[in-house]
Amino acid sequence: MIYQIARYPNVYVDPSAVRQFDYLVQAVRRAGPRKLLFGSDGPWIHPGLELHKIRLLGLPPEKEGLVLGGNMLRFLRRARSGKAAAPVVRFVEIKANESVGESDRASQLTAADLSQYRL
């Protein structure tokens, strides 16, 4: 799916419930933060966990703001203005055989990172 969001201007992703943090890193590197639409996948996943994953990307505040709501506002304005709405695809469709850089392995979430989000 990373290939599709990088190649096609009308394809976006909701990165909620992504278990491999490397996929988020690669998506931002290859397609940019303008292609991610924040979602929590609630009630199954705690929204704080999903927010923490976005913050761990280390984006500048203006780019983090795009992911956390700016992109959705742009998307909705586009739909409201009568332009065709872009399809939204889920990250869970990413193929396991897509390569991920070895340097990104260190970027994975640890149990200590997630411990504060216990329900």
The identity of residue 33, as a single letter, is: P
Helix axis angle for 21-31 and 47-56, nearest 10°, is 50
- Predicted pLDDT of residue 85: 54
Q: Which domains does the chain have, with CATH numbers?
A: 2-103 (3.20.20.140)
- Predicted pLDDT of residue 53: 93
pLDDT per residue rounded down to tens, the chain (119 residues) = 788 899 988 888 888 888 888 999 999 999 999 999 998 888 888 889 999 999 999 999 999 999 999 999 988 888 777 766 555 544 433 333 444 343 333 334 444 544 444 33
- Predicted pLDDT of residue 52: 93
- Predicted pLDDT of residue 84: 60
- Predicted pLDDT of residue 61: 95
For residue 72, which of 32, 34, 31, 37 has the smallest C-alpha distance?
A: 37
CA distances from 66 to 5, 14, 37, 59, 94 (A): 16, 13, 8, 10, 22
